[in-house]
Chain A
Amino acid sequence: MDLIQSVLNGEKRGIAKMITLIEKNAPEAIEALKQIYQHTGKAAIIGITGPPGSGKSSLVNQLTKKIRSEDKKVGIIAIDPTSPFTGGALLGDRIRMQELALDQGVFIRSMGSRGALGGLSRASYDAAKVLDAAGMDYVIIETVGVGQSEIDIVKLADIVALVLIPGMGDEVQAIKAGVMEIGDVFVVNKADKDGANRVVTEIEMMLDLNTEKDAARPPVIKTIATTGEGIDELNEHIKKYWHQIANSNELAKRRKERIRSELISITEDHILNQILSDKSSKIDSMVKDIYEKKIDPYSAMELLIAPEK
């Protein structure tokens, strides 16, 4: 299949076409993914997450320029929200990445979240594999602007950078559960704004309360993405963290957890789709029976998944 060869050669048209197949849920996509799987696992997958307007795209732009100066190749997946009403989306992350547009060592793909609620899109997991197999040294995933609980990025990234900005709330915010728990690196962007030092202090205080003794303490880095200030430090910390997890069993542990959740999720999808397509008329009649109290929902489910005799 030339598409596979084209992806493995790192040709941008092949990469782009394969990601489209994945987004379309085309049957060919699964066959192609089977064939590239052997070639994945080399790239460091970095997740950049944080609230809307915190400067994620600008940071990705600066970080990518820095990584490129070390002659490493970068694939970027930038996700913006899809309208739950029309299915349309306005994908605007490229506006902040114009400087990267003609760099042959950078591939950028914008994606709509298409109904996924955890900050990613369904297709982003497999799109990351395509970029990895295409020979990217780094794959950077920029999530949808998140609130407090969209943490799916931990199911995809080896390293998560959580971007925060001054003025988002008091110190109680910092000890809430959810996104504040997933940062391997904390970035306080817009550090020239009032209150930046207070955000740093609040994150540090939260980290002081961590009781897990052997876990590495995440660094807190101040940046100004528009000028590039702090990007060197961010890049150094990411590299240091990568070496640390790659040289211990931490990376393998994380990736195995990810594989487990992926295997379960694709199995779930497959079984569900099979039932929905094979037994849709049976479901209709069951709904009626359940409504009329002829059967309860749990017994109906058991009938639904029982193998046909």
Chain B
Amino acid sequence: MTQTNTIRVLVAKPGLDGHDRGAKVIARALRDAGMEVIYTGLRQTPEQIVEAAIQEDVDAIGLSILSGAHNFLFPKVVELLKKEGADDILVIGGGVIPDEDIPGLKEAGIAEIFTPGTPTSRIVEFIKENVKH
């Protein structure tokens, strides 16, 4: 029987801001690129995100945040994934993130940060090139 390798991505909104237009645009773009996107809704804790990622066995997690709490919440997700032995999952982030915060976030294990204005095709390419299958 032929094997299929559909990429599965969890799109999650950690923290307390209620703006998920961006997350929905990304979810739609990934869907149109042939991926299965699991969208979990607003106001997720890092614990909820990691638990969902493990049960859904996703290849990547896309975190979207506009509240300014990225320096705390993004690294926390990576840390919890490590603790669960699931750090093979690619973590990327997006939202309103100042340039000076990006090096620190990458050092904390976020593979890439996409700020406003990034074409969705770049995000699709990045995921396709970097997920471990």
Considering the chains assembled together, what is the distance between the CA atoms of A98 and B38 in angstroms? 13
Q: Do B38 and A110 touch (CB < 8 A)?
A: yes
Q: Who on chain B is nearest to A98 by CB?
A: B41
Residues of B in contact, count (CB < 8 Å): 32
Question: Residue A215 at the B interface, CB < 8 A?
Answer: no
Q: Do B40 and A95 touch (CB < 8 A)?
A: yes
Determine the chain B residues whose CB is within 8 A of the CB of A303 once the complex forms. Answer: none
A57 to chain B, nearest CB (A): 11
- Answer whether A107 and B55 are a contact pair too, CB < 8 Å, given A24-B5, A102-B47: yes
Q: Scoring B residues 1 to 40 as 1 if CB is less than 8 Å from chain A, else 0, what string do you get?
A: 1111110000000000000000000011011111111111
A145 to chain B, nearest CB (A): 16
Q: Do B39 and A25 touch (CB < 8 A)?
A: no
Considering the chains assembled together, what is the distance between the CA atoms of A91 and B36 in angstroms? 7
Q: Scoring A residues 21 to 32 as 1 if CB is less than 8 Å from chain B, else 0, what string do you get?
A: 001111100000
Taking each of B2, B27, B31, B84, which has the highest tally of chain A beta carbons within 10 Å of its own beta carbon? B31
Q: Scoring B residues 52 to 67 as 1 if CB is less than 8 Å from chain A, else 0, what string do you get?
A: 1011110000000000
Question: Residue B117 at the A interface, CB < 8 A?
Answer: no
- Answer whether A101 and B51 are a contact pair too, CB < 8 Å, given A17-B57, A273-B1: yes
Determine the chain A residues whose CB is within 8 A of the CB of B51 once the complex forms. Answer: 101-102
Considering the chains assembled together, what is the distance between the CA atoms of A89 and B35 in angstroms? 6
Considering the chains assembled together, what is the distance between the CA atoms of A83 and B6 in angstroms? 12
Determine the chain A residues whose CB is within 8 A of the CB of B1 once the complex forms. Answer: 25, 27, 269, 273
Question: Residue A94 at the B interface, CB < 8 A?
Answer: yes
Q: Who on chain A is nearest to B30 by CB?
A: A88
Q: Do A98 and B44 touch (CB < 8 A)?
A: yes
Question: Residue A217 at the B interface, CB < 8 A?
Answer: no
Considering the chains assembled together, what is the distance between the CA atoms of A249 and B37 in angstroms? 42
Question: Residue A295 at the B interface, CB < 8 A?
Answer: no
- Answer whether A89 and B31 are a contact pair too, CB < 8 Å, given A25-B2, A95-B41, A269-B1: yes
Considering the chains assembled together, what is the distance between the CA atoms of A107 and B57 in angstroms? 12
Question: Residue B86 at the A interface, CB < 8 A?
Answer: yes
Q: Do B41 and A91 touch (CB < 8 A)?
A: no
- Answer whether A25 and B3 are a contact pair too, CB < 8 Å, given A86-B32, A102-B47: yes
Q: Do B54 and A88 touch (CB < 8 A)?
A: no
Question: Residue B130 at the A interface, CB < 8 A?
Answer: no
Question: Residue B48 at the A interface, CB < 8 A?
Answer: yes
B62 to chain A, nearest CB (A): 13
Considering the chains assembled together, what is the distance between the CA atoms of A92 and B52 in angstroms? 12
Pick from A23, A90, A95, A110: contact of B6, CB below 8 A: A23
Question: Residue B116 at the A interface, CB < 8 A?
Answer: no
Considering the chains assembled together, what is the distance between the CA atoms of A15 and B86 in angstroms? 14
A185 to chain B, nearest CB (A): 27
Pick from B32, B40, B41, B52: contact of A88, CB below 8 A: B32
Question: Residue B98 at the A interface, CB < 8 A?
Answer: no
A276 to chain B, nearest CB (A): 9
- Answer whether A94 and B32 are a contact pair too, CB < 8 Å, given A17-B57, A20-B57: no
B65 to chain A, nearest CB (A): 17
Q: Who on chain B is nearest to A78 by CB?
A: B38
Question: Residue A16 at the B interface, CB < 8 A?
Answer: yes
Considering the chains assembled together, what is the distance between the CA atoms of A90 and B39 in angstroms? 7
- Answer whether A86 and B31 are a contact pair too, CB < 8 Å, given A16-B54, A94-B40, A109-B56: yes
Question: Residue A87 at the B interface, CB < 8 A?
Answer: yes
6 pairs from A and B in contact (CB 8 Å cutoff): A12-B54, A83-B31, A89-B31, A94-B38, A101-B51, A102-B47
Known: A91-B39, A94-B40. 16 other contacts (CB 8 A): A13-B84, A13-B85, A25-B2, A88-B32, A88-B35, A89-B37, A90-B28, A90-B37, A92-B39, A95-B41, A98-B44, A102-B47, A109-B55, A109-B56, A110-B56, A112-B6
Nearest 5 Cβ contacts at the A-B interface: A95-B41, A88-B31, A16-B57, A101-B48, A87-B34
